Amino acid sequence: MTLCPAEPDSGVVFVRKDKRGQEAEVQGRFDNVCDTALGTTLRNEDGVNVATVEHLCAALWGAGIDNVRIELSGPEVPIMDGSAYPFVFLIECAGVVEQPVARRWLRVRRPVEVEIGNSRLAVYPSEIFSADLAIEFDNRVIDRQTYRFAEGESGFKREISRARTFGFVEDVERMHAAGLALGGSLDNAVVVGDDGVINEEGLRYQDEFVRHKLLDCIGDFFLTGHRMIGHVEGIRPGHRINNELLRAVFADDSNWSMSELDDAVFSKAQEPSLAIA
């Protein structure tokens, strides 16, 4: 994977370089999401897929990147260590450049709520991006965890970016038997057994599980093409309900509006638009 500079207002574009003939572009947009089973997968109108985009998109959000061309030699974004931190680190190493256009923000204007089974996710008008999430698992290691994040008060790199994806021993064994997730290992996921976390290093945060769910939400929400101003509340979030919430927001034009920098009242909004250098 290579991250390349992009022109203002071009957004996040994935480019499959392994396709025969010309390159295949897939726009990083919520309405291109075609699968949410094991991650967030995008598909263009020609049927070309790019899988597992959420961790990279969260890193782009955390690094303040608006426009980038992401070239891939295969159908999936590298999993790295299962978190967003390696991407954040590499973006910082590359550096960013200011672009001579104002950043536009997606402002939520009315409450929007969706429910799928026992999962609920809602977004409300606010003056910043913030989130209150809860997860519940019938597992004594995870149990119930809650986490609150507020942009400008909380730091994405320090508090969220290192949280890894997680799964259970029995699920990993089942997927391997089905020929799925063959690259998965203790190097790129937290694996939970009956007696605790199997990974030798243990957890990076005491509540790493719910923090990773927030990381996924941030990555999925960035597929609007803009940073969001709104307060998110949810219990048992996941990629499917994350995408359904975005679709519900955009189903009614009165639910949202676009704001220029002078209409975004918190300090983070004063940053210029950025791109990979």
Contacts by 110-119, CB closer than 8 A, 24 or more apart: 110/252, 110/254, 110/255, 112/245, 112/248, 112/249, 112/255, 113/248, 114/241, 114/244, 114/245, 114/248, 116/240, 116/241, 116/244, 118/235, 118/236, 119/234, 119/235, 119/236, 119/237, 119/238, 119/241
Residues 6+ apart with CB under 8 A from 20: none
Task: Write down the catalytic residue from 55, 226, 231, 239.
Answer: 239
| Cα angle value 39/238/124 (rounded, 5°) | 130
Burial 7-42 (b: 16+ CB within 10 A, else e): eeeebbbbbbeeeeeeebebbbbbebbeebeebbbb
Identify any residues that bridge with 167 across adjacent strands, giving them in sequence order.
Answer: 191
Question: Is 176 noted as a catalytic residue in this protein?
Answer: no
Write out the catalytic residue numbers.
239
